[in-house]
Amino acid sequence: MEDNVILRVATKILTPYILLFALYVQFHGDYGPGGGFQAGVIFAAGFVLYTLIYGLETARRVLPLKFAALCGALGVLIYAGVGIATMMKGGEFLNYNYLDSHNAEHGQHLGILLVELGVLTTVFGVMVVIFYSFAGRRDIQS
């Protein structure tokens, strides 16, 4: 793709907007369609586009495989951490009402936001790891 200037420039222009749209989907998920899973897939798609145009080695310098795997694990920890925090405050696992002792509605909002952030992080990390794994395979037949 080094000789295809149009695709390279278009990717540099579009990638930030794709990532920004993923964040919009993440934070709009409380009020409408969307949320962590969709945002994670869109965020990963931005990196997949970048990898397809600039190559796997360049993409791995921008987003190393170890960091993507760490994102997958960190998202699960965020998700579970919210549940454990609610249990430590006296509630059931993922009962968001206990996150804010003064206002249960604020606790609900905070809990959903944090859980969806964990889902975004996990889905993004796992999707990138899967893509890197398939993209890095060599053709055994040739």
In tens, the pLDDT along 81-131 reads: 999 999 999 999 999 999 998 998 999 989 999 999 999 999 999 999 999
CA 2, CA 53: separation in Å to the nearest integer?
A: 8
Q: CB neighbours of 83 closer than 8 A, spacing ≥ 6? A: 93, 94
* Position 18 in a domain: yes
Of the given ranges (6-15, 48-57, 99-108), which has the lowest mean pLDDT?
99-108
* Position 13 in a domain: yes
* Position 42 in a domain: yes
Which pLDDT does position 34 carry in this prediction?
Answer: 74
CA 123, CA 59: separation in Å to the nearest integer?
A: 18
* Position 98 in a domain: yes
Whether this model's pTM surpasses 0.85: yes
Range of the domain at 18: 5-135
* Position 124 in a domain: yes
In percent, the amount of the chain with pLDDT more than 90 equals 80
* Position 140 in a domain: no
Which pLDDT does position 62 carry in this prediction?
Answer: 95
* Position 142 in a domain: no
Spell out the alpha helix ranges (H) of 29-103. 36-54, 56-62, 65-88
* Position 141 in a domain: no
Total structural domains within the chain = 1
Mean pLDDT of 4-28: 94
φ/ψ of residue 26, rounded to 5: -60, -50
CA 86, CA 48: separation in Å to the nearest integer?
A: 36
